[in-house]
Structure 1
């Protein structure tokens, strides 16, 4: 059996703050001061992650999104729209945020601190929008619920999956999640019976929607008995597949074989903190945190496909492919790496299929290591099961706790220090205008010229005069893609705009004019206000994010940017692309 040593600190295990005061009246400031003390204690453990230079692939940039208190431990991020996102803290707070002047403005979205048993590897584990969110406004939260107070143990505490109702209100930061709307969909029947605080690890867990509309989520071995992970009668150490009403599909392996009915088709997992469905390929990808013996332990990436049937990923009898115990259902990881005497903890990510980053990153799976402090990506062969490329993306992002793909195609990550970073690129996807209708109904055909000739003949008694009038009309439709970046630069309070990657200064600071409405238009060669053809493709109101990323198809090579203020509606500026 793989060695068990519960003194280690890994993945969320390294996000330790002192256990919250068992008196529920503890304040956030008390928890934060404890977090600062623990952060200092962890400094020696995270030397491998000490911030230094940040070597990134060519054309990839990294920016810090926030400047908040470094003891805030972000367990998950979730985008509601391109400019509004949520992040959760392990002790039960969820914030709704927007970017402004290089930092974040935030409000409390929901406060679950009074009912969340946070600390160690517990708390808010994950959030997910309902797969029909636009219609039902439901948000799902996977968290550790405190049901019974008990000093020194987790008496009665248990994992649960609940859904809550989102109230849009006036939009943006005014939106809230209604705590009184909670519908408890699943409660772990095994809970966390009377165990010491030092063993509060391996709780979970990520929520994902599968191709069949079922909800999938992961749960660790809970450190109650590691053998539970390979015992199909337990929910521990397995991937759980559930109907939206909390029942379990009859074709789950556990349901068909007298086991835990929610156990889908794979168990033998130790601490599957982050998992994801890659829907186009039907792969379920699992990042499983390895064992505690730093001289022999390994981190693991697993891939499961339903056609594999039931598989056991080996824990606790195997740590990676180092396994003396074999059985027909054993499945080794597709990638593993050794601790080599250092702390390590895999943070699973996602398969990148967007177009903001250059083509070499398409269909790559991004992941990180919390303990060793790097971010990497791998690419697979046609089967999707064998790695053919394995490259470093960021050598030092800090101890990553979670990763998220943003709607604009950028990659976001959060680390132990409460820092949120965004990775982006100035790459512009080359496009060939399709022979279909473009956005807003504009044609994508090449510009056409229509010539009309009118001949007029005038006859008199002495002469005949013929006059020919030619009228030419040029229609300029959208064409190749152009990406524009608008960003505030707080250091000098000047805004800039990137036009095809070229930085130009704007005549005003974005989002500083009350009641302003910022508009970007593609126009023809006439930049004077009130004249020239134009194609308006993006606008946003005051108070929105300071950075706008716009993709548009247009053969027009001039761009007009202006704001419309109620006191001065005429100010604008015009730029010409190279």
Structure 2
């Protein structure tokens, strides 16, 4: 009888209902109850996530691996063919998006910190973007379509969010590389810029600085610190970007062609440990943020929610943060944020790197941890 009881207890401990209960939390929000379920774990500092048409997830890990995660959370083996990356500090393998014609081309685009080509006399590293064909468990025909200039010996501020514009061009967000922040104000480099390219890496003819002497033609906007979030507004079709500030001064901006967003001349942040940066918070010819956080919550990925599972979240911004370990919902009235709700710090308590809307209309989060997880949010 004792052996039978022990066998029954062990069976129950391994049963699906108990395992699910351990991986699922219920959270009260301003719009109702939310279920937070861990659907995958064991990822190494995941950075980007893109859903494949069949419901599997393509995930990048900052140390330099990319893998496919099944819909039920099983981690696939690392893909073959990923180029070398500088996996140091904030650098490594970063964002990933499917090509707009993925259904027929099987192409993906991904960003990473690219090592210098010593054969060309280069030094340092920079953000780069490549396109490749996903075939089985490998990347084939890997081709670089963009490389930030110049390379810098730094392990910080790579930016690196990738967003497709409605016209099929690709926005790439870039950081100032920390040590090069003053270059964010000049147009002869890619530091602290948002750039826009065609899918093949060529420059769109209507980019704002194509005809400006001395300016790099890929530049879309400038005066940025470290843009790690970006999304297209579903109604206006405009690009919005999220600026990761210093000690304070995280920003949301409507990112328009040719405009100067102020860094490091104006900012609502201050130096780490205290101390003024630049000239203040306002200056003629420099844009004000649409929304800001002081102190910084370390904003990273965000989306505009357009699914049907959370009707009260329609067209809200859903945003993740590292420092505050929160999932943030921003309610909009036109282009203005009118309400902010912070969630999951107590229930999850991890650095949240990115948020993605799944093809099922649910919301998925990834945590930037050595045992990184994928969380699924669903309404109750």
TM-score normalised by length of structure 1: 0.55
Q: What residue number does 1:522 align with? A: none
Query: Which gives a bigger RCO, structure 1 or 2 (Cα 8 Å, sep 6+)?
Result: 2
| Corresponding residue of 1:128 | 97
Q: 1:387 aligns with which of 327, 334, 337?
A: 337
CA separation of 1:305 and 1:159: change in aligned 2, threshold 3 A? closer
> Equivalent residue for 2:185?
230
**Cα RMSD after superposing both structures:** 2.4
* Greater C-alpha radius of gyration: 1
Tell me, yes or no, if the aligned pair for 1:56 and 1:395 is still in contact at 8 Å: no
Equivalent position of 1:319 in the other structure: 267
Q: What is the aligned counterpart of 2:139 among 174, 178, 186?
A: 178
Look up the match of 1:336: 292
Q: In structure 1, the residue corresponding to 2:134 is in which secondary structure?
A: strand
- Aligned partners of 2:170, 2:259: CA distance in 1, in Å? 19
Where do 1:353-372 residues align within 5 Å? 353-357=306-310, 359-372=311-324
User: Counterpart in 2 of 1:9?
Assistant: none
Contact (CA 8 Å) 2:163, 2:172: kept in 1 or not?
A: yes
Residue 305 of structure 1: how far off its partner (Å): 4.2
**CA offset at residue 76 of structure 1?**
0.7
After superposition, residues 167-246 of structure 1 pair within 5 angstroms as 167=135, 175-179=136-140, 181-192=141-152, 195=153, 199-246=154-201
Match of 1:161 in 2: 129
Q: Deviations over 1:236-290 (max 9, x none)?
A: 11110111221212322222322111111x2111000121112432221111111
Q: Say if 1:125 and 1:204, in contact at 8 Å, map to a contact too.
A: no
Q: Give, in angstroms, the shift of residue 318 of structure 1.
A: 1.7
Change (3 A) 1:99 1:135: closer
Structure 1 regions of 5+ residues with no counterpart? 1-51, 168-174, 427-578
Which residue, out of 278, 298, 305, partners 2:249? Answer: 298
Determine if contact 1:211/1:279 at 8 Å carries over to the other structure: no
**Secondary structure of residue in 2 paired with 1:189:** coil
- CA drift of 1:332 comes to 1.2
Structure 2 counterpart of 1:139? 108
- 8 Å CA contact 2:149, 2:189 repeated in 1: no
Change (3 A) 1:321 1:329: farther
Change (3 A) 1:263 1:83: same
Output the CA distance in 2 between the equivalents of 1:317 and 1:408: 43
Provide closer, same or farther for how the CA distance between residues 110 and 425 of structure 1 changes in structure 2, counting only shifts above 3 A. farther
The structural deviation recorded for 1:142 is 1.1
Equivalent of 1:400, from 328, 352, 370? 352
Deviation at 1:140, TM superposition (A): 0.9
Partners of 1:367 and 1:205 in 2: how far apart? 16
User: CA–CA distance in 1 between the matches of 2:176 and 2:210?
Assistant: 19
Indicate conservation of the 8 Å contact 1:127/1:139, yes or no.
yes
Distance 1:325 1:403, change over 3 A: closer
Deviations 1:123-150 (A, max 9, x none): 112111111111211111111122457x
Residues 347, 325 of structure 1: alpha-carbon distance in 2 compared, 3 angstrom cutoff: closer
Aligned length: 340
User: Partners of 1:395 and 1:64 in 2: how far apart?
Assistant: 15
Q: Name the structure 2 match of 1:248.
A: 203
Partner Cα separation in structure 2 for residue 232 and residue 124 of structure 1:
26
Gaps (5+ residues) in structure 2?
Answer: 1-24, 271-278
